[in-house]
Amino acid sequence: MNISKKLMIIVILTVVEVSITIFSAFEIAKGARFHQLNFLHLKYINQLTKSVNSIQEDTPIDLDQIELDILAIKQQPIDCLQEINTLNQIVMKIIETYQAVTICETDINVANDILLSLDNHRRGDLDRKRFLVSLNDALHKFNLHSVNFEEPIRKTVEFILLTLIPLVLMISLFNIILISYLSRTISSSIHNLTSLLSSKTGTDVDLDSDLEKNTTSELRALIIAARQRIKGDLLNLENNLELQDIVNAQTSSLQQANDELAQFAYRASHDLKSPLSGAKSLAQFVIKDIEAGNTEEASSNAGVIYQQMEKLENLVVDILLLAKADIGSEDVKAIDFEQLIVDMEERLAWLMKGNPCVLETSILLSRPVVSEKARFTQVIENLVSNSLKYYDKNKKSSYVKCSIFDSSDKLIIEVKDNGIGIPEKHHHEIFDMFKRFHVETTTGSGLGMALVKKHIEYLQGTILFESSTAGTMFKVTLPMDDL
């Protein structure tokens, strides 16, 4: 049974109890009213008796006064009958006090009879003596009825008191017990639910079956609604947390980018300043040398200034390339790798001149590669020039092998050398900016490998390397479909 039904029963029982109590009060009050009417009846009978006793032998009878008295007497049984309803009649019949009703009716009949006699006497149809006899007879009957009326009324009231009051008491008692029981069941089902909810955590399936067994439908509905609400709230919370995570991740990536930028700015400004301040000092020397007439030294230093400026120019170009590597270009077309190699060899002529290192290239492509040529040029040129720079003087023959080919939708660029290799402790720094690991060669900005990595990341490819004292191999893998 659910809680609302239990509450409805409590309400109904209370209404019944109150109704019966009020009904009992009315019935008991009615008993008192009957006694009152009977008392009034006796008073009017007494009044009539006085009128009758005052009749003198020879004087005429005050018929009007007597008629009024009789009508007054007749009124109480009429009132009495009006008070008695059907339910009273049934009860009176059961407890055998119905004679009270009969007495009233008889009393009315007696009154009607004597009123008829009075009319007859007034008209002269009934003589004085016979009228007085019937008047006395009526008086006697009235008195008798009044006396007899008391007993059934007393019995009836007594019955009402004896039955209704215990009934009310019983119903009240029952009501108290039932209400206590129902409220206990209501509070215990709430208590059950509370302990059920506080004991189990995380096991939704068990909770569902326990809810089915241990709770009323309304509480179940309440729990389901609450759960939906909490789920919704949790979902919002989760979303908020996710957003928070995204914000945190973006903040830290921005922080990292910021740190990288600061590092870059420091290194770039350092490397830009270095050749400038060198050239400045050298220019002062040149002035002094010319003044001193030492043209040979002046000329030599002017040459160094030129080299410093060239170094500066290369650095600026590399920094610009690095900045541009993050931005896509519209210059996309099929790349002629043969021509790219030829152009590169021309640019690296200074490095290859007098270099014992042999550059071998092989290009084997099943279909054209359509992309930004500049990126490929920079990747290949940086890898090849590094291999050329760091050849191993102690080896008999030095080589750099550059292979460009495709294999299962991947474009592979492989640059392999038998150079001096990259010391293992520097492997993690290979793609960092401004890093050079060998002192013998001072050319280069230290930005080459950072630039290579940027291009490969832009093209969504990967770069791997293996390096030992036997040599170094870089392998670039790029997805062909995206090219």
Partner 1 sequence: MSRIKPPILIIDDDEVDRYILKRLLKEAELDFNIFEKQDGQEALEFLENYEANVKNYPDEFPPILIFLDINMPRVNGLQFLEEFVTLRLTIEIESCVVMMFSSSEREEEKEKIMAHDFVKGYLVKGAFDAESLKDKVLAVIDYLIE
Determine, following the binding rule CB under 8 A, whether residue 427 of this chain makes contact with partner 1.
no
Here's the x/- map for partner 1, 431-460, by CB under 8 A: it reads as: ---xxxxxxx-x------------------
Which DSSP string do the residues of 293-329 spell out, in sequence order?
A: T-HHHHHHHHHHHHHHHHHHHHHHHHHHHHHHTTS--
294 lines the binding site for partner 1 (CB under 8 A): no
Residue 5 interacting with partner 1 (CB under 8 A): no
Q: Quick one: 129 or 425, whose CB is closer to partner 1? A: 425
Beta bridge pairs of residue 472: 417, 467
- Tokens standing for residue 389: 């720079």
Sheet of strand 358-364: strand arrangement: 358-364, 399-407, 410-417, 471-479, 462-468
* Binding span for partner 1 by CB under 8 A among 14-22, 141-149, 208-216, 277-285: 277-285
Q: Work out how close the CB of 359 gets to partner 1 at its nearest, in angstroms, rounded to a whole number.
A: 25
Q: What's the angle, vertex CA 135, arms to CA 134 and CA 138, rounded to 5?
A: 85
| Contact between 154 and partner 1 per CB under 8 A | no
Residue 258 touches partner 1, criterion: CB under 8 A: no
- List 266, 365, 443, 464, residue binding partner 1 (CB under 8 A): 266
Q: Does 302 bind partner 1 (CB under 8 A)?
A: no
Rounded to 5 degrees, φ, ψ at 401 are: -115, 120
Q: Which of 281, 295, 462, 468 binds partner 1 (CB under 8 A)?
A: 281
Instruction: Supply 84's token pair.
Output: 């008695």
CB of 308 to partner 1, least distance (A): 6
Residue 438 CB, nearest distance to partner 1 (Å)?
6
Nearer to partner 1, 346 or 440 (CB): 440
Q: Contact letters (x/-) for partner 1, 303-322, by CB under 8 A? A: -x--xx--------------
Binding-residue pattern over the window 341 to 360 for partner 1, x denoting contact by CB under 8 A: --------------------
- Among 93, 130, 229, 270, indicate the residue that binds partner 1 (CB under 8 A): 270
| Interface region with partner 1, contact rule CB under 8 A, candidates 86-94, 96-104, 152-160, 302-310 | 302-310
CB 459 within 8 A of CB 470: no
Q: Are 164 and 20 in contact (CB under 8 A)?
A: yes
- Cα 13 to chain centroid, rounded: 41
Size of the site for partner 1 (CB under 8 A): 26
In angstroms, rounded to a whole number, what is the distance separating the alpha carbons of residues 202 and 199?
A: 10
273 binds partner 1 (CB under 8 A): yes
Report the distance separating Cα 226 and Cα 245, nearest Å.
Answer: 28
Q: Does 280 bind partner 1 (CB under 8 A)?
A: yes
Helix, strand, coil percentages (3-state) for the chain, rounded to 5, are 70, 10, 20
In whole angstroms, give the CA distance from residue 362 to residue 189: 84
Q: Considering beta carbons, is residue 393 or 396 the nearer one to partner 1?
A: 393
User: How buried is residue 107: exposed, middle or buried, by Cβ count under 10 Å (0-12/13-18/19+)?
Assistant: buried
For residue 391, the minimal CB distance to partner 1 (Å) is 17
Residue 290 touching partner 1 (CB under 8 A)? no
For partner 1, which residue of 14, 47, 143, 274 counts as binding (CB under 8 A)?
A: 274
H-helix or E-strand spanning residue 415: strand 410-417
Neighbour tally for 241: CB within 10 Å: 10
When binding is defined by CB under 8 A, the residue of 157, 160, 219, 282 that contacts partner 1 is: 282
Radius of gyration, alpha carbons of the chain: 63
Choose between 271 and 417: whose C-beta lies nearer to partner 1: 271
Q: Do 465 and 430 contact (CB within 8 A), yes or no?
A: yes
As measured in angstroms, the least distance from the Cβ of 466 to partner 1 is: 21
**Position among 30, 132, 154, 278 found at the interface with partner 1 (CB under 8 A):** 278
Kind plus residue range of the DSSP H or E element containing 400 = strand 399-407
Question: What are the residues binding partner 1 (CB under 8 A)?
Answer: 266-267, 269-271, 273-278, 280-282, 285, 304, 307-308, 434-440, 442
